[in-house]
Structure formats: C-alpha cells, structure tokens
C-alpha cells in the first residue's frame, strides 16, 4: 500500500473515531435531557431491600438542571418525614428533623449511602454529571431483550471530581434511553449495576419509571434498592425559594 493511501486511510479512521465520539456524547445528552428536562418536580418511591430488613420511603423532588440545583424531601414514613437534602452547585446539605439541624456534606461523603439505601448522596442530587464530567465513546453494539443497544463507555475527565473509574451505559436504539448502567471503581472492578425498566409516558414523555440498583460488593451482598416515579412534571416553573437553606430546615 502506498504512503499516500496509508495517510488517507488513517485520516478516514480518525474522522470516524471523532464522529463516533460526538455521537456517543449526543446519545448521553439526549437521554439525560429526556429523563430530566431543564427543570422537574415530582414524587418518587424508594424501596430498600436487604437480607435483614425492608423499608419503603416516599419523597418529593425538585431539580433545576440549568441552575445545577436539586432538592429532595422525605414524605413518608412518619419517622423519616421532613428529612431533606439540598444541592447548590458542588455543595450539598442534609437536614435531620430528629436533631432539628442541617449539616453540610463534605466531598468525601458524597459516595456514602443516602438514607440507608444503595443510592449515594451523589446519586440523589446528581452532583456529578454524566454529560460534562466524562469522555464518551461507543465501544460496542449488542442486543438486549430483542432490541438493538449501543454500549457507550464513559471515562472521567482529568479535572472531574468523580468516584467512578468508568461507567458503561447501554442505550436502546431510537430514543437512546438507558437499559442498564455498569459502574466500575478506579481499579476497574465492577461494583454495581443499575437496571432501567417500565418504560411509559409520565409527565408527557416516555421515561423508565423504575430503576433498580444492585451493588456487587461482598459487604452489600443481597441488597437491592428500587426507585419508582409516582408522578413527574418537566420544564415547570420552580420558585427560587425551594433551593434555599431556609426551605431545607422548614418542618413539614
């Protein structure tokens, strides 16, 4: 093969690689926008299952993705009612009604369990962004449940403050909504999986209404947390008073 032809082939391969990288990010962006909108407000239920106990919580949730703000308040059971979490940019606070005070969550605790579930503080308020904090690459195509699926591998940017060494995101063809996400630690060990199910119209758009998080570490063997949307409205006006420390500490 001539040197000229080699250079042309190399250029084409590089161009395809760039196109794939852009397409990969677009897949993540479209799914993220579909599932979150610019703003959202709704009610969700969280079912926490362990080998020793089982509990269900109901929560109200507000999010302003453009303003990088989130607020969640527990509605039930009664003993947890009023517990709340507030995220403003990279900062997070949690209010505990039993001691009538709030505490700021340091970065070192963002990966700690939220309310005894398998979801972390970071998961609940989406402190890190799968769109902005990671590089994206389509690494494979496969099938799941008889449908075509894109495998998109997310690796953290050098400056990003994230805990995951990689996330492998399986997006269904067409609307790019996730079917599964695999989370790897910095050593490349698979530590948890999240499954997305019950795709249906809620708030005027199709989203997965149920998310099941399964940790794979030995100490969490047998644990599962299921999150279900009860209702949600997208792109709604949310008062700026919602995302305040005063609202966080307001008894309800």
Count the domains in the chain: 1
Residue 126: inside a domain, yes or no?
yes
Q: Which range of residues forms the domain containing residue 154?
A: 32-248
Tell me whether residue 130 is in a domain: yes
In a domain, 21, yes or no: no
SS (H, E, C) the chain: CCHHHHHHHHHHHHHHHHHHHHHHHHHHHHHHHHHHCCEEEEEEEEEEECCCCEEEEEEEEEEECCCCEEEEEEEECHHHCCCEEEEECCEEEEEECCCCEEEECCHHHCCCECCCCCCEHHHHHCCCCCCCCEEEEEEEEEEECCEEEEEEEEEECCCCCCCCCEEEEEEECCCCCEEEEEEECCCCCEEEEEEEEEEEEECCEEEEEEEEEEECCHHHCCCEEEEEEEEEEECCCCCHHHHCHHHHCCCC
Per-residue pLDDT of the chain (252 residues; tens, 9 = 90+): 444 433 333 333 333 344 344 489 999 999 999 999 999 999 999 999 999 999 999 999 999 988 789 999 999 999 999 999 999 988 899 999 988 889 999 887 888 888 889 998 888 877 668 999 999 999 999 999 899 999 999 999 998 888 899 999 999 998 999 999 999 999 999 999 999 999 999 999 999 999 999 999 888 889 999 999 999 999 999 999 999 999 998 855
- Is residue 115 domain-resident? yes
- Quote the pLDDT of residue 11: 36
Domain assignment present for 225: yes
Query: Residue 93's domain is classified under what CATH number?
Result: 2.50.20.10
pTM: 0.86
What is the pLDDT, as a whole number, of residue 161? 80
Q: Is residue 25 part of a domain?
A: no
Q: Is residue 167 part of a domain?
A: yes
CA–CA gap between residue 7 and residue 9 (Å, rounded): 5
67 domain residue, yes or no: yes
At 236 the pLDDT is 96
| Half-sphere exposure in the Cβ direction for 238 (13 Å, CA) | 24
């Amino acid at each position: 093969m001539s040197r000229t032809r080699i250079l042309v082939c190399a250029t084409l391969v590089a161009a395809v690689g760039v196109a794939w990288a852009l397409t990969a990010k677009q897949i993540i962006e479209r799914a993220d926008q579909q599932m979150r909108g610019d703003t959202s407000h709704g009610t969700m239920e969280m079912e926490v299952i362990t080998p020793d106990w089982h509990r269900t919580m109901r929560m109200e949730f507000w999010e302003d993705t453009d303003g990088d703000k989130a607020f969640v308040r527990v509605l039930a059971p009664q003993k947890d009612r009023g517990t709340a979490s507030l995220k403003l940019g990279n900062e997070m606070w949690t209010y505990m009604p039993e001691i009538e005070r709030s505490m700021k969550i340091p970065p070192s605790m963002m990966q700690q369990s939220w309310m005894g579930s398998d979801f972390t503080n970071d998961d609940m308020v989406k402190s890190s962004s799968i769109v902005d904090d990671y590089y994206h690459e389509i690494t494979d195509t496969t099938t799941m449940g008889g449908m075509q699926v894109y495998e998109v591998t997310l690796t953290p940017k050098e400056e990003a403050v994230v805990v995951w060494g990689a996330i492998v995101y399986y997006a269904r063809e067409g609307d790019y909504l996730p079917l599964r996400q695999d989370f790897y630690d910095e050593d490349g060990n698979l530590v948890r999986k999240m499954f997305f199910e019950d795709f249906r119209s809620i708030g005027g758009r199709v989203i997965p209404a149920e998310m099941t998080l399964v940790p794979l570490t030995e100490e969490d063997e047998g644990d599962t947390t299921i999150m279900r949307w009860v209702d949600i409205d997208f792109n709604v006006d949310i008062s700026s008073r919602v995302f305040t420390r005063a609202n966080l500490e307001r008894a309800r």
